[in-house]
Amino acid sequence: MRSTTTLIVGAGQCGLAMSHELTRRSIDHIVLDAGQAGESWRTRRWPSLTLLTPNWMNLLPGQRFARGDPDDYMTARGFADAIGDWVERHDPPLLGHTKVHSLTRDSRGFRAETSNGPICSRSAVIATGACAIPRIPSFAAEIPAHAAQVSPIDYRGPAELPPGDALVVGASASGLQIARELALSGRNVTIAAGNHGRLPRVYRDADILMWMHLIGVFDEPFTDVDDLERVRRTPSLPLIGSPDRECLDLNSLQDLGVEVVGRLADVRDGSALFSGGLPHVAAAADLKMNRLLNRIDQWVRDHGFEDVVAPTQRFAPTQLPAEPRLTLDLNTVKTVVWATGFTPDHQFVRMPVFDRKGRIRHQGGFVAPGLYVMGLPYLRTARSVHIDGAQQDAAALACLMSRDIDRTIAA
């Protein structure tokens, strides 16, 4: 039986960041992954997907400079290759192609039953990420049998889908990008927007994420957030990484011929039923965007940069049909894309650490003595959901972990 001080489950950017921090602290550990390092970036993303974040936000542990042009946007496959190069260079204690069947606690610490035998450890880090299982509503079973149903994990591009009309359910980043790609392929596309946000890709000559970085949007600690559960449910930023830095929102989709409807509320008798709340969703997205732009403008004024950046600007409100449709005959639809979010896959964790909704309870990544979690939205700050946030989270949790280990040894 293998044994180690710390067991890390998951070899994406979060698991590797923790490995890097533990190596710096001379804490022996093992990193497990069901595939190879960065597996989900290689096999669970569609080929044309580009990262929402520019390269300067995609640094892996120990990197000081971005891979390629810092202001470009790499593909998911490109990022998987970057992870592969990092592993080759740093040689972490990685056991790939090792599935964890269960993780339990015993009198000596933790025990993982894996496809390569049991492993015991004094501490454990769950770093399998937040986007493992598509969240698909139960009424998906009522979709007519002739329509293909896919999630962003299954989606590979228009050519892999049957010809004909498509319904994209969900208008966060994945839904917007897939609806755009399907429309550009010549299909008739309808997108159901339930929870929607809006951001310009570029504002006052800089990427919007650079502004959000400068004004501190990403760095508010979880302890200062009023409604943390609501914030953790916020969908991914509605952006697309493209060479011409285009905006991606409901207006740009409608310019491509995409029809916008409200939240998909139900499917009955072969018809999709949509909420009538679309105008409120769009107005709220516009309001939140303008609040952020006002905050950026104030920061520019406060720092005396008015003369060195582009002038302030505002964007046209979200345009909607005069009467958005409330029903859609699904007999005309050949593909339904469920871009309705994800849940983590923590089923292997066999300990009483879950809330009534099946989510791991934690405080900034601390679950219980010796047990930690990484890769969840707003784990410690808003930056946690981004690639470069993994390094900061790992450093903070490794500090807690090393103190716990020292106390255990002393005892």
Q: pLDDT tens digits, residue range 24-40?
A: 999 999 999 999 999 99
- Residues 311, 314, 316, CA angle at the centre, nearest 5°? 145
120 in Cβ contact with 366 (< 8 Å): no
Beta bridge partners of 111: 104, 120
Give the pLDDT of residue 409.
55
Look at residue 406 and tell me whether its pLDDT is greater than 80. Answer: no
The residue ranges of every structural domain in the chain are 2-132+344-410, 143-338
**How many CA within 13 A on the CB side of residue 376?**
26
Look at residue 299 and tell me whether its pLDDT is greater than 80. Answer: yes
390 in Cβ contact with 38 (< 8 Å): no
Q: Of the given ranges (14-23, 66-75, 258-267), which has the lowest mean pLDDT?
A: 66-75
The residue with tokens 């403008």 is 297
Reported as a single tens digit per residue, the pLDDT across 159-184 is 999 999 999 999 999 999 999 999 99
Reported as a single tens digit per residue, the pLDDT across 235-254 is 889 999 998 999 999 999 99
Give the pLDDT of residue 66.
83
Query: Of 3.50.50.60, 3.30.300.20, 1.10.1240.10, 1.20.140.10, which CATH number belongs to 2-132+344-410?
Result: 3.50.50.60
Mean pLDDT of 224-239: 90
The residue with tokens 């679309």 is 278
For the entire predicted model, the pTM comes to: 0.94
Phi-psi map region of 56: left, alpha, beta (phi>0 left; psi -120 to 50 alpha): alpha
Reported as a single tens digit per residue, the pLDDT across 337-393 is 999 999 999 999 999 999 999 999 999 999 999 999 999 999 999 999 999 999 999
Beta strands 206-207 and 202-203 are: antiparallel
Q: Is 197 helix (H, G, I), strand (E, B) or coil?
A: coil
The CATH number of 143-338 is 3.50.50.60
Helices (H), 208-328: 208-214, 228-232, 250-255, 278-302
Look at residue 107 and tell me whether its pLDDT is greater than 60. Answer: yes
Q: Categorize the per-residue pLDDT at 117 as very low, low, confident or very high, splitting at 50, 70 and 90.
A: very high
Q: Categorize the per-residue pLDDT at 234 as very low, low, confident or very high, splitting at 50, 70 and 90.
A: confident
Q: In the chain, what percentage of residues exceed pLDDT 90?
A: 91
Handedness of CA 148, 151, 153, 158 (dihedral sign): positive
191 in Cβ contact with 258 (< 8 Å): yes
Give the pLDDT of residue 83.
96
Q: What distance in Å separates the CA atoms of residue 262 and residue 21, rounded to the nearest whole number?
A: 45
Which tokens sit at 257? 């011929």
Beta strands 189-192 and 165-169 are: parallel
